[in-house]
Structure 1
Amino acid sequence: MLINSAFFKINRIPLLLVVSCFLFYTSFAYNLTRTDYTKLIMLYAALFFLFYKLVQLLKHNISFLTWIAFGFRAVFILAIPNLSQDFYRFIWDGRMILEGFNPYLYTVESFMGKGEFPVAQAQELYGGMGNLNASHFTNYPPINQLCFFIAGLFAGKSILGSAIVMRLLIIAADFGTLYFGKKLLKKLNIPAHNIFWYILNPFIIIELTGNLHFEGVMIFFLIWSLYLLYSGKWQWAAVVLALSISVKLIPLIFLPLFFQWFIKGYLISNEPNDKNPNPSLTILDANIQDSKKDSPLWFRMTKLISFYAIVITTTLLLFAPFYSSEFVNNYAQTVGLWFQNFEFNASAYYLAREIGYLFRGYNEIAIIGKVTPIIVILFVLIMTFFRKNKTNIELITAMLLVLSFYYFTATTVHPWYIATLLILSIFTKYKFPVVWSFVIILSYLAYINLNKADKSENLWVIGIEYMIVYGVFFWEIFIKKEMPQTSFKRSIL
């Protein structure tokens, strides 16, 4: 009894914060509608403040942070997502596969328009996903489709049951990210509790666990792949990276960045020895662990080409069960929509669009959407060949900067996209993704125009979001003095 009393006395503030979080998450999951903007912002701001304090107070108690991170996720188990409709399409695709259909060959409307109901609860799913989701071919890669299939297999006639199964898969992926993330942080001599800027972040809990976005599964494979790469198991790293791509295509943008890591990377022991008494100042790059430091260029090039070959071959094999000429056409068409049709929560694109209106006045996305991919490719090539990417931290930092540039120029930036930036940032000195994970909630206010007849985004709200994000970004990149290595080893706290 005295032990319990002493425990509660010592930890009364953290426990009070934890209880408050549970109550706020419960309200968020079961008593919030997307259009209740005031409540949405207040709950999110409160949760973010409590999250910051919990990591600050408990950063040396990894076990406790782990328990509460997954306890908060458990709050959402029985909840229907209230900020996104996408999960209805996920369920539809999974049930289509169960019924023997190739989900890439049919739109939802192609059935509903003819009064056909190929899956259980077809009308409810169609009504829930909305016209945008129903009118386009699916763009979710095969490992993502596997998750949908598993949900259909175990809960084929229950929307809530399917949501629960998908949620459990995402939570399991978070466990994997926590496991490999901590191991990679330790090997890079970065505090292990940095992983909780991702795992405990309310943005991650709400957008991934709550709203059922599978970025969490993609991130699990990405971090696992980076850990394998660090450990010298580059062949398996390539296979796992292909799994990540087969959940979400976004890791494809990272492939060129591995060039220097294979060609110019080198092996430095992370263990203390006479020549290296202070291993905290070194980074193990095991890309050539099975060869000598001065291995010939042709050998390193062979490994690089082999790495790319494994990634591409594995990805193609995963897509193979769905292959047909129609599939290629439909998939390319759907991916193209993200560049030339959809607009949401953009930054640089909206500025370019307004400038274009001065000259043409309409349909700027058709022009800018063709130029933007070229600009992004050029930036990736510059980062590949003109920036040092030899060490693991340099490689991950390059990934962070490349993906940030892509989102800064994109026509569509949904909130859950920021999850990848957030996980990459914990291995670097840059913290603007943490700030973005807070202000991204403003994107849900984009359609808060006082004139209810006006269905366009409120650019003032988006402007506030990006002024904060760009402000922190440019401060960290151009103004903030280079952090000493010893400072980098510490957390941002």
Structure 2
Amino acid sequence: MSKQLNRLLIPFLGLLMAAGFYYLGYFVPRENFWLTFMLFSSLFAGMAAVYYLGKAPKWSLIFIAGLFFRLVLLPATPNWSDDYPRFLWDGELVRMNQNPYLDTPEGLLQNNPERANSYLNSLFETMNSPQYFSVYPPLNQAIFYLAAWGANLDAKTGVLILRVILILGEIGVFFLLLKLFDHFQLPEKRLILYWLNPLVIMEITGNLHFEGLVLLLLLASLYALSKNRNLLSGGFWGLSVGMKLLPLMLIPTFFSFQKTRRSTVFWIGSALALVLSFAWLLIDSSWVHFLQSLKLYQGKFEFNASVYYLLREVGFWVKGYNVIGEITPILSAVTLLGILYFSWKKKPQNLLQLIDLWGLIYLIYLALHPVVHPWYLIPAFGLSLFTSKKAFLIWTFAVIFSYQAYGDPNYQESPIFLFLEYSILALAVYWDYFRQKTHLKTIS
């Protein structure tokens, strides 16, 4: 393709994508699956075209384009997620000097109506799980508090503040990816796959999910480790656990990686960050309700699963009822054993091998977990850009099939769409782990 045509085509694609994000973010509810699917697919194709057509744009142009796509969504009310009312509810309680872990929203309004106000009542009306205690760790609560403090009883302002915080985190992800790609001598072109990815933009900026901040902290941990700042590396990893508990499953890899296993300051930094993140749960025994919600989440909810759904069907056939309470502990145990086994077997010798192991651990977890929301993929996808594996990139497209459930009046998932999603993923995993030989550079 000629340079002149390339210079014209890339800006044109950028404008079309901006229009697509605008329409998707403001006018397409998640219940309209086919329109969602067509627009999302077009945006994914646009990202792929920018990546594959001719010479890659300079990183500064990539940054400006992706930032513009995010800013297009700045004043939008999330169309694809109803999690944000709980974020604002918890933040408002903290602003009122109340403990968000002590009462469920339903319980607070029924038993202590004097503690509520019209703003909390309006949030309650749009909340998706008012009968459960808050499952969000204290670091999340700190961000919710900032949004509530700035919002001053206005939900739209609260959403705007949350979105600005998440966009700032995404900017941090971009520049950490840029720094680490340079450190590992990887092409800057890979930035396109994250920064212009429609799943990343819609689920973090559009739907206000915090996996982007988890990725930010994991990348910060890796960058600090690459600079031999082990205290900071441990601290950033500990904070990533404080943001979302899931990075805790990476702890066996630090014991199998010599650079961290023998570093006392790494473990000191990790411990300090974990104490800072979770000590607040000791107030009024908040940890009791927090763990209760986690237990309910692990043993009651199911969405977009793969292995779990297959086992559940076997359970229906054998016992005649949903055996989620029996399957979930078994799958959790298998996940733990898989993490321990591969951490011991692979014994990463450098940072790229450590990152590759992290990707495998995320894959094991998500394959066996009964709940796989699309935004769960984002930290693993960002890490996968340091490897030659493409499964998570492909999954960031295929996971859009899970939104079919919202188009059903009863939120019933279609086996056909689940089969499509996981067949595509299975082929990608087969290619990554059984056909394609991965060559990792030995740069620590």
TM-score scaled by length of structure 2 = 0.94
Whole-Å Cα distance in 2 between the matches of residues 143 and 13 of structure 1?
A: 43
Whole-Å Cα distance in 1 between the matches of residues 253 and 4 of structure 2?
A: 49
- Offset at residue 370 of structure 1 (A): 1.2
Of 214, 232, 235, the residue aligned with 2:228 is 232
Q: Which residue of 2 aligns with 1:465?
A: 421
Query: After alignment, is 191-200 or 467-476 more displaced?
Result: 191-200
Q: Which residue of 1 aligns with 2:116?
A: 118
Whole-Å Cα distance in 1 between the matches of residues 213 and 396 of structure 2?
A: 18
Whole-Å Cα distance in 1 between the matches of residues 47 and 114 of structure 2?
A: 47
Q: Which residue of 2 aligns with 1:434?
A: 393
Q: Sort the Cα spacing of 1:427 and 1:119 in 2 relative to 1 into closer, same or farther, 3 A.
A: farther
Matched, 1:197 2:193: yes
RMSD: 2.0
Whole-Å Cα distance in 1 between the matches of residues 330 and 432 of structure 2?
A: 28
- Offset at residue 483 of structure 1 (A): 4.7
Of 27, 32, 35, the residue aligned with 1:31 is 27
Q: Which residue of 2 aligns with 1:105?
A: 102
Matched, 1:383 2:342: yes
- Offset at residue 361 of structure 1 (A): 1.6
Of 80, 83, 102, the residue aligned with 2:80 is 83
- Offset at residue 171 of structure 1 (A): 0.4
* Contiguous gaps of at least 5 residues in structure 1: 1-6, 266-286, 288-299
Whole-Å Cα distance in 2 between the matches of residues 9 and 428 of structure 1?
A: 31
Matched, 1:340 2:299: yes
Whole-Å Cα distance in 2 between the matches of residues 317 and 455 of structure 1?
A: 39
- Does the 8 Å contact 1:446/1:461 carry over to 2? no
Whole-Å Cα distance in 2 between the matches of residues 475 and 324 of structure 1?
A: 49
Say how many residue pairs are matched. Answer: 439
Whole-Å Cα distance in 1 between the matches of residues 438 and 351 of structure 2?
A: 18
Of 278, 288, 293, the residue aligned with 1:319 is 278
User: Can you list the C-alpha shifts for 1:425-463, whole angstroms capped at 9, x where unaligned?
Assistant: 1011111111100011110102545xx5x6532222111
Q: Which residue of 2 aligns with 1:128?
A: 126
Q: Which residue of 2 aligns with 1:404?
A: 363
What SS class does the counterpart of residue 422 from structure 1 fall into? helix
Whole-Å Cα distance in 1 between the matches of residues 41 and 432 of structure 2?
A: 23
Of 208, 217, 222, the residue aligned with 1:221 is 217
Q: Quick one: percent identity of the two aligned structures? A: 29
User: Can you list the C-alpha shifts for 1:175-233, whole angstroms capped at 9, x where unaligned?
Assistant: 11111111111111111221331121011000100000011111111101111011100
Structure 2 letter corresponding to 1:87: Y
- Does the 8 Å contact 2:173/2:215 carry over to 1? yes
Matched, 1:209 2:205: yes
What SS class does the counterpart of residue 134 from structure 1 fall into? coil
Q: Sort the Cα spacing of 1:20 and 1:93 in 2 relative to 1 into closer, same or farther, 3 A.
A: same
- Does the 8 Å contact 1:91/1:159 carry over to 2? yes
Matched, 1:254 2:213: no
What SS class does the counterpart of residue 389 from structure 2 fall into? coil
Whole-Å Cα distance in 2 between the matches of residues 52 and 458 of structure 1?
A: 28
Structure 2 letter corresponding to 1:91: L
Whole-Å Cα distance in 2 between the matches of residues 62 and 224 of structure 1?
A: 20
TM-score scaled by length of structure 1 = 0.85
Structure 2 letter corresponding to 1:329: V
Query: After alignment, is 52-61 or 357-366 more displaced?
Result: 52-61
* Contiguous gaps of at least 5 residues in structure 2: none
Whole-Å Cα distance in 1 between the matches of residues 293 and 336 of structure 2?
A: 20
Structure 2 letter corresponding to 1:100: N
Structure 2 letter corresponding to 1:474: Y
Matched, 1:50 2:42: no
Whole-Å Cα distance in 2 between the matches of residues 311 and 120 of structure 1?
A: 41
Q: Which residue of 2 aligns with 1:284?
A: none
Q: Which residue of 1 aligns with 2:156?
A: 160
